[in-house]
Structures are given as structure tokens and as C-alpha cells.
Structure 1
Amino acid sequence: MTAEAAESAVEKRSMRREAHISAHTDVDAVALWLREFQSSPQTWRAYRKEAERLLLWLQRRSEALSDVRRDTLDAYERFLTDPQPAALWQGPSRPRYAPQWRPFRQPLSAASRRQALVILQGMFAWLVEAGWLEHNPFRLMRDKRRRMDNRSERIERYLERTLWQRFWAWLDVSPSPKAGNGAYYRWARRRFLFGFAYLLAPRLGEIVQARMGDFIQREGRWWWRVVGKGDKQAEVPVPPDMMKLLADWRRTLGMSPQPEPDDTTPLLRALDGRRGVGDNQLYRLIRETFRAGYQALDDLPKAKRAPLQQATPHWLRHTALTHQAQAGVELRYLASTARHARLDTTARYLHAEAEEWHRQLAHHQLGDADTHGDGTL
């Protein structure tokens, strides 16, 4: 299966009264929906991925978007849990034009499945308004709020502080001079990447798009200027450790320790030290580093270091925000760092209440029942 296969996905036209868009196939209609997000490349790519997956799945069933019913959504959600046959649907990251390209890297987690359905819900709503579809099956979900609200659960995909500290200590050890300049460069890049991700909590696409001149200084304080979701610009305080990491990384590149405001060169570089890196390359680099850390920390029990095998790039953002919350950063500042539109989204990173609940419930013991003092009931 190739990405181009989506172009032939179910071209039968459903019966409809009148379409308000110039489309002849489901693929045409979805492309027009995606055009609404072209000003935000990261959002566009995420939405295209979910729409493409659904269209390819429907193609295998010889169905169109107009055939999607309430029970179809349940079947699709089950499919996302474990896309089968795996050889057809799952595989390592590849360019979309490559024969080895697959729609999934692996089965989706519960949070990723919810996010996929949230995106598709919006797509169906738009297609109904456009007159391309007659109904939105998502409206029939009685438990819609629970299933579609991706803000409802506490964040769990992060590294606990003790594991992060061991992992960072391993990352922080430079290679032997005998290893050569190439090994030193790869180590310096990996160290900077993970330090940057931990200290400033960027999204993967924001790391790819970051430039040296995005670090600016005002009144003696450094800020990181970032354009995030929805093409919204924000500024995040840069802690001293981040400036030290940046200075080390720039020295590795043969640059002065502090960036200039007009420096538009990539922040993270390819092995040639000049070009930037792409999303897929960065994703693989982070996953490979997590797995290498799992192997290197073999003095820890497997259960303790197991999260390193499962971790994806977004775990870095979750880890950064969770640890900031645990360090006592106020919710309003945490939300600004995360660049969340809603405080309840950020509140998922607050684990203190759960920890206190657990502490108090620990006093509830099986052998603590002699309330009368004389052994009687």
C-alpha cells in the first residue's frame, strides 16, 4: 500500500441533495477540508494522516464516507487499536512515496485513538456543512463527551523523575576523544536535543522549525519565540540551563555562544552541521536514543526502565510539563509554557492531588480495626 493509493479511495459518489463544494470524490472533498488548515503545516499534516487512514480503511471495505454509520465508527476504533493485517498497515517510518510506506508505525494508544476520532469528528461536521454528506455519525455517540474529550484523563505517558535523571546522566557523558569528531558531534546533538525538549517542552514540529534567532534577549532575560499550533506565536522563558546547552551546541557548530536575532539558520542540524532535520528523521533519532538508553541502563530492573522502550517524542513534552508541575510551577505559567488554550488541558499534568489521595488511603489497613480497644465488635 502506498500513499498514492488514497487517491483511488472509494470514488463512488454518495446520494446527496446538493454539495456546496467543487468535489467529485471523497478524496476531493477531504482535500478541500484540509485546505482550511494550510496556514498551519503541522496541523495540516496531522489531519491529513487521520483522514488518509480512514479513507484507506474504507477502501478496503469498498465503502465511501457516506456509508459510515454509528457501528462503522466502533469498527474503525477497534481497527485503530490493532491495525491488521500488520504487514499491510504497520511499518517503520518511511517517505510517503516509498513502497515500504505504511499508514501506522504501531497500534494507537487510547489517547491517540481519541485524538484521531476528534479530528475525524470535525472533518465529518465540515463535510455535512459543505453538503457533501447528509449526516455526521459522531452525533449519535451517547458517550461522546467521554470518548471525544482528549482532555479528560491524567497524563501517563511520561518518564518518572528518577528514571529521567538516570537517563539524562547517561546522555550527559561525552564519548572518548578516541571515538572521533563524528561521534562527538552526534553526542552533542543528541544531548542538546533532549535538553531542549525537556527544558522548553516543544512539540516535535516546533523543534524542526526552530531557528537560532528564535532565542531573543530583553532586559537581560532570554526568551524562546515559537510559532505553535494554530499558527499562534508565543514566547517562553529560557532557564539558565538551556542557555548553557545552547552555548555548548553552538560551540560544537563553530559558532559564538549566543545567537544573533537575525540568525535564521536551523537550530537542530543534520550531520553536515548546516542543513536542518525533518520530522521523520527527528522522530527516529529520539526513538533510537530512548531505546539505546534502555539498553545502557541495564543496572536498573527491566520494569523500571521499560518506559524507555515505549517512549515516543511526545513523551518528552509530557515529561517536561509533568516535572515542571511537580516542581511547583503554577498552573497559569505551566499553561503558558505548554501554550494550551484551556487550563483543564494543562491540569492533566498535575499529579499532586492523586499522590495525596494515595498517601491518605495508605492508612486504610486490614489490621487496623480494633476500634473498641477490648477486642469486641
Structure 2
Amino acid sequence: MNLALFFDPLADDEPTATPTPPTALAAYATRFTEAFPDWRGADLAILGLDEWRGAAAGAPPAGYHGANRVRERFYQLQKGTGALRLVDLGNLRPGLSLEDTYQRLREIVAALLEANTVPVLLGGSHDLDYGQFMAYETQERPVSFAIVDARPDMAEPGPATPAETSHLRRLLVHEPNYVFSLAHLGHQQYLTPPEVLLALDKMHFDMMSVGAIRTDRRQAEPLVRQADFLSIDLAALRWTDAPGYAPANPFGLSANDATQLCWYAGHSEQLSSLGLYGYRPEHDPHGLAAATLATMLWYFVEGFYHRRPETGFGTFRFLTYTVVLPGNPDKLVFYKSRRADKWWMEVESLGDSAVKRVVPCSYEDYLHASQGDLPERWIRLQALLG
């Protein structure tokens, strides 16, 4: 597949208009300025997006390109530890219609996934994660994903409904349906209709509010670790940390919370694509939101290069803990990595013992089981396994 047909190159002086030190990321990344980068030989690929037809507020004023503003900040950052095989494919040419853009993203992301290159989608409205999601159809297997947003975008789709307010509903009802699990992180209850929270709970999906993340963000790590892809709307962050969206919100995740979630995502062996959406540079005159997004991306890349294969449950690589319970099931099996503070839990379907999964969990899940209580995570996954 010739991906170069879908992208516009970056100008020679983009995205770094000021001199960069030789230790900065700009010296190591291969960017599309003249020759199209070798994306098949890369570990990660950045895709700039400037598609806003799904946004309620429309497109930013002419001359404002969010992905380029983030690039300016990102490539000035220092290269982290280890090797770096990062390509920047330039900016995607939108399709004739919004649906065409979704399909274009589907094909491009699917091609990158097939080459084991992790796509990083940067810019545009949050509904573009529908194209990111559709790429996983080609794998024909159950898919888990995580979304970070101030509210679940579950409006009823229709001609008068902006796509960015209904894209989550569209993901969940898409056919063929390969969704196994969803984790929605960072929602603010005062912005979310109660019936939406009830509907997601009835579907046995995980919800973690902004307050819960602020209290103990470590509890979000297993939810991100279970995801095949992560989609983040900048509106999930409080305005003081990321003034790049409208209307302004004084509450939300901090920049520290957001970078930690991106570190979790980069570090996860299972996660194979990331979307950073919703940045409107016309609301960011000092470039603070661009700097926040650039740092989030830096932590994702750094986390990626700290990945370590976590396989072989039941071998010496893991400590095995068996918890005896009084009912059905009569026991739960947990695994803890000897190298990292990561836990997994074995979930066997009560309806069919042949259906079994080892899923990420937390130390707190193990403590609940040790006290004779079934962890909430086990109950939700049991329902999903049927």
C-alpha cells in the first residue's frame, strides 16, 4: 500500500522553526518533507490530522494547524533512553466527505498495524477515533479499547448531531461487532447524563471518573493495559493545564494525570495505537496545550521503549497466588510479575470452563479476593465472557 498518496509533506522549516540541539527528537525522527519515510521499518508513526467536519464548532480559523503546533513542541524535547525508530508521515489529506476520511484512516491504520508499526493520530475532532477503531476489523478478534474524555459521547447519531458527540455510540453499535471491553476514563459526573452512565454500566464496561483518577491514578493502569487502543480528547484535561478547547472547563485531569496515562499506554504490550484529539490551537495563544500534548506524546514514546514482554503465566517469571473462596467460583488465581509491580487475574467463564482469560488487574483486586469478596473487575469480565 502506497501511503504517500494520502499525505501532504511537512515544509522544510516545519515543525521546528527554531534551531534544535543535536540531542533533541528532531535529530532522530524521520519526517516526510521530500522522501516518504520507511514506515514498515519504524516502531512508531505520527499522522497529523486536520479534519473538523465532525466538530460542533467547525474547523479552526485558516492557518491554525493543531498537529503542526504540537510538532513544534514535541521535536524540541530531548530524546529519551534507548533506540528511536520514529517516522512522521506528514498530514493526512481529508477525504471528499467525513465518511471518506474515516475509511481512509481505517486503511492507513490497518496497514500500519499489519507492519507492527504503532500509529499515533494527532489532531482533529474526537470522532476520528471511529476510523482508528475500524482498522481493528481486519484482525477479526475481540477488541478492547480505552477512551479518555470529560463525558461519554453517546448522543443519538443524526443529520443534526455533530459526529464528535455521538462517536462512542457508533463504535459500540458498529457491525460486525468485535468490541470485547471498553474503559471510559476521566468523565465528570456533572457533565454526564445519568442514563448514559447507567447504559454503560449495564453493558458491563469500566468507568473511572476524573475524581477516582485524581485520588489514585494507579487504578487506571490495568484498564489501559487491557486496551488495544487508546483515544484521548483534550477536553478531558482542565483548562489551566491545556487551554486548547472550548468551552473552557476549570476541572478535569491534570497534565500529570494525562502524561501518566500515556506512559501506561506506551508501556503496555497490548496497546497498538494512540489517538490525541480535540486540540484547537486558536484557543492556545501561548502554546501551553501544545506543550502538554507534546509531553504526553513524549511519555508515550518513552513508555514504548520500556516495554518488556510479560508472557508465560505460571512460569518462574511470575509469582502465582491462589485465593480460596467460599462460593462459586471456589478460587481465584492471580499472577504478579517479578520484574514490575503488575498484576493479572485469571477469569474463567462460569458457563463454559473452556472459556478463560488472563486479564490485567490491580493489587487491590487481589486484596478484595483475599478478604473473601469477588473483585468488581472479575464480575464485569464474567458478564462479558458470558
TM-score band, normalised by the shorter chain?
under 0.3
Normalising by structure 2, report the TM-score.
0.27
Select the structure of larger CA radius of gyration.
1
Between Structure 1 and Structure 2, the one with more strand by share is 2
Per residue, is there more helix in 1 or in 2? Answer: 1
